[in-house]
Chain A
């Protein structure tokens, strides 16, 4: 089978697998977040933290829950790393450096999983399992909770209650993430991934030198790393490491896990608002972006413009030979289109255009299809903006999903939309202002600019993938990238919850033929245009000096 055919077969298989799971999982999540009853284990948890699961919260209380929970999580994760020598299974790796500990704590709590450390050198099994893996679950559940709260804002009418954050958080873990992760981990182990508490194995390399190959409980963390669109590898090489991602099947399975929940959440939206077409429209926009970027990346990686690459037949630098070009492009586009950030190749080695695609994919605001929950609320915010901009053209105050978009809604959506570009542009601008920055760069010129832009795009969008090439261990980068992650995560969340609160208070406006049809292909086109245009207008100058200049050279 030729690589192209194999690649197409993989894409086909992936789409079929997602299509099969779309309905059952989407509807299951809708039930999870609307069901009345509680599981016994959930009740036990609520009792321990003294939460009344049947009380509902205003958007402010809900937001306080998100912020409070995240703050406590950061503190605990920081302490866990700093106190590593006191923990079992620390493998003698010592206390984590404060800068790294802060950055990592923020990174995993914000669902970014930007890694400024080398896991097998820095972290023991306990911190990995009790710290990072736990955050992989709960940070994903937080994203889903916020998305569901926004959907409730559209669904509910004349109320100031958005649900209970603690219940949504708990159910996201117990009823969605844990069951899927449990099954998927077994599948992954069966397919060859490593699951071990041993320190490592001794091997003799081809050069005759004795080495220790680090082992870790990889499969269990790998699964939630993809499923929760987290992306933090248990090994430094992430999904290009054969213990995390041994073969083409695991590679495809991991891509499937990355896309599973973000895709199915559009079904959850359609089911919850009682109009499936609304979900299909969002999914089609996500799918079109993903498909278009995949095509460009695949083409770009197959048509590199360097003499050496041409001689080698393709741009294989930084790619695993066991995956090849199509699987690497598929993984790269899926991981940057969601807020995952796991990588199965070196993004820094992608072609100018291919690297630009991964960068653009994040700069679109992570909506193709976006992180768990974050993708849904991200595209809903863009839909609100699109409806407001062009929706006036039908001669009515803009309405979306039965709610009018007035001053408060537009303000909230505008803040949500404004946060990411602000973080990325300010971060990149300030970093480039510093003369020291050039010293941290692997490459000069346009590629160097891409490396800095990529770092802030990745952290500002809570993606966490690294272009590489930029040494980020200086205090400046540790702290500003940490701040980028915090602002990039919580500013939009606050704005989205405010939007939800304001929407929930409104009456529901029944649709008429005079209402903007938001379940139609026409609106899908309009939304797609808005997402692309906003990103293009915001980042074209930066992209022109980075990947575009590089690609045109």
Chain B
């Protein structure tokens, strides 16, 4: 199992759990605001909406295609027999089509701005290609082929996607991630991937190009955010089929109505029949369906996650099992000092002083965590004073397996138990048996014991043991509880021994854990879950994660990871934040909920429209049908026109909801269903009664209608 830590990820999380949650809320809140709907977008998208009036744009959407044909039909009749009513109906039918186009255009427009900034990165670069003999030649970036080696130095733009084969460099990836802090990229290992269009800030690297021109990561991003390659997701296809079925039923209803009306005594005009048809077919969801899909992808982009397909976003909503790497996801990337245990009658203050001193010059995260603990719990200075700065630092090496300082003739060391014990004996000291007990106990609990010792004037003694342990990130337990409430099982994957794994798993509150995990084990776990009918999501960054990423239903690759991982996953997280997976799941769910809510709303709306239109159509034949005109609409014309206007306006009114998504709070399916059925089912039945009644109050004022 591999983990990487980008430079910008704070190694020492300074927040309490509460602060962390607030921060998370603020962060997501900000992103939601950034993605929120702006009324001006309606205006700016209007030209696109008009362009989409062309029938070829309507064909893929059977519901809107029917509306389009109906609009043409009514327009012809309005021209042949002009009246206020026929012209008004024709106009509002066209508005219906236009508003549907508008919804899609607004959704697409939001991606376009992002695509524009990405395009700027694609400007022509000149690549320094290495010939086989080691000399360089300058070629246009577009001429690079897979396998070419190019040299990039500080200040230059990387000409294409690839892996570093030589060197280490800091790279500014702000153009794609939006983060200004540079990241380190180096050959070998899991931080070797670089993206074309990003800038090298320091040093020199040799990159092996991994993609063809035009198929680079940036190209794919542009296509994605623009929605150019948008294909209907499986659920969207199924929903379209159902909407088409309903459209066919309502087409039959209106067609069969004419002979029934004729038999009953009077034919209904084609304009009225068309108005009825358009009001009945599920235009609301039909109009907003593609906008919901585009907006779902867009919400991910705002969270700096790129989904390679809408299918993956949809699958995210269905996830049953989340595989989360322990290190860097559930716990901080590095072990941290959590306790100082003095031995042999040494005071804890003395041990703290020594532990701090030994770690002052130690720049490893573990070392710094010791200094922090001493500062926090024992009131010691966090910074070295002038005297301490003059001390001689003894760095950690693989041979000595300990580090420390020599100061004023005294030596302080900390390190692996065996090494420090040997060092004590070398200096003529005695190791109390208590030390081994403490060390064994810490190891058994999954921690790492560091023994701290001091030597002065030829006598050495053990001061105590420093406990380093994995620290679960604040707020994780709450998130896992949320996930459990959503019916998602979390499995922690770690290379630790089962004992350690269990301790962390219990502390973090995950449902299960996989200890001593090798990449194959992860793969087996995914397969096993999938055999049981469950959908699995995971994050990964290393090349050895690639098969599992490909096997998982949702595989989120870290942007810091290798090209292989990024190719294998179906999403890439530009922030390289493994906990983002949880947000991805929420976005997926929100998208499906929005679709379901608007479908339910759309169909529930029909009842009120019948109550408006049926009495209007047949009152002349059976006056008693006026009794079902419960909204007391003024005239048959005003009733029909009001229903048509409501039907068109409700699309515009719901565009913000379609783009933003239905409010979603993690909870059980029962709770979600109850709430949404109430809001969108019952609301869908009631709203049009009120809406049509209100519109009729205005429409009846029009001469020739009221």
Q: Which A residues have a C-beta under 8 Å from some C-beta of B?
A: 157, 385, 388-397, 402, 405-407, 409-411, 414-415, 417-418, 421-422, 425-426, 428-430, 432-433, 437-438, 445-446, 448-449, 507-510, 512-517, 520, 522-523, 526, 529, 533, 536-542, 544-545, 548-549, 552-553
Contact = CB atoms under 8 A, between A and B. Distances in A.
**Interface pairs A-B: 5 shortest CB-CB:** A514-B487, A392-B596, A395-B589, A512-B487, A429-B256
Given A428-B256, A522-B674, A552 B624 contact: yes
A179 B704 CA distance: 71
A449 B617 CA distance: 17
B625 interface: yes
Interface string B241-264: 110010011101101111111111
A455 B597 CA distance: 37
Contacts of A422: 248-249, 252
A541 B673 contact: no
B532 to A, nearest CB: 6
A446 B242 contact: no
B487 A513 contact: yes
A548 B262 CA distance: 17
B592 A421 contact: no
10 contacts: A390-B677, A391-B673, A394-B672, A411-B238, A414-B245, A446-B622, A522-B673, A533-B603, A537-B249, A549-B624
Contact of A395 (B593, B621, B680): B593
Given A389-B242, A411-B238, 17 more contacts: A385-B242, A391-B596, A392-B239, A393-B673, A395-B593, A397-B234, A405-B238, A421-B252, A432-B263, A509-B533, A510-B534, A514-B486, A515-B487, A542-B257, A542-B260, A545-B260, A545-B618
* SS class, residues of chain A in contact with chain B: helix
B614 interface: yes
B670 A393 contact: no
Interface stretch (B353-361, B574-582, B604-612): B604-612
Contacts of A515: 487, 669
B325 interface: no
A538 B253 contact: yes
A396 B669 contact: yes
A481 to B, nearest CB: 16
Contacts of B320: 509-510, 512, 514
B590 interface: yes
B241 A411 contact: yes
Contacts of A541: 253, 257, 260, 610, 614, 617
Interface in B529-547: 531-534
Contact of A545 (B314, B606, B622): B622
B628 interface: yes
Contacts of B264: 445-446, 449, 545, 549
A399 B525 CA distance: 24
B238 A510 contact: no
Interface of B: 234-235, 237-239, 241-242, 245, 248-250, 252-253, 255-264, 280, 314, 317-318, 320, 484-489, 531-534, 588-590, 592-593, 595-597, 599-600, 603-604, 606-607, 610, 614, 617-618, 621-622, 624-625, 627-628, 664, 668-670, 672-674, 676-677, 680-681
Contacts of B237: 407
A394 B593 contact: yes
Contacts of A522: 670, 673-674, 677
Q: Which of B256, B260, B487, B531 has the most chain A CB atoms inside 10 A of its CB?
A: B256
Given A388-B242, A549-B624, A449 B669 contact: no
Contacts of B593: 392-395
Contacts of A393: 593, 596-597, 600, 672-673, 676-677, 680
A202 to B, nearest CB: 46
Given A392-B596, A517-B673, A425 B256 contact: yes
Contacts of B592: 392, 395-397
B242 A396 contact: no
Given A390-B596, A537-B607, A537-B610, A430 B259 contact: yes
Contact of A432 (B250, B260, B670): B260
Nearest to A453: B260
A425 B674 CA distance: 35
B175 to A, nearest CB: 34
A30 to B, nearest CB: 23
B628 A395 contact: no
Q: Which of A407, A533, A536 has the most chain B CB atoms inside 10 A of its CB?
A: A407
B260 A396 contact: no
Given A393-B597, A397-B592, A407-B237, A537 B614 contact: no
B522 to A, nearest CB: 21
A112 B488 CA distance: 48
A446 B595 CA distance: 40
A392 B317 CA distance: 10
Q: Which of A394, A526, A544, A545 has the most chain B CB atoms inside 10 A of its CB?
A: A394
Q: Which of A389, A397, A406, A514 has the most chain B CB atoms inside 10 A of its CB?
A: A514
A446 B622 CA distance: 9
A536 B607 contact: yes
A526 B487 contact: no
A509 B486 CA distance: 16
A421 B589 CA distance: 34
A545 B261 contact: yes
Contacts of B280: 537
B249 A538 contact: yes
B625 A514 contact: no
A541 B249 CA distance: 13
Nearest to A540: B610
Contacts of A410: 238-239, 241-242
B618 A533 contact: no
B272 to A, nearest CB: 12
A388 to B, nearest CB: 6
B484 to A, nearest CB: 8
A417 B244 CA distance: 13
A35 B595 CA distance: 43
A408 to B, nearest CB: 8
A544 B624 CA distance: 10
A10 B480 CA distance: 56
B533 A540 contact: no
A515 to B, nearest CB: 6
B677 A548 contact: no
A437 B238 CA distance: 41
A21 B314 CA distance: 45
Given A410-B242, A549-B625, A421 B673 contact: no
Contacts of A414: 241-242, 245
B62 to A, nearest CB: 12
Contacts of A397: 234-235, 314, 317-318, 592
B256 to A, nearest CB: 4
Nearest to A415: B245
Contact of A513 (B255, B669, B674, B680): B669
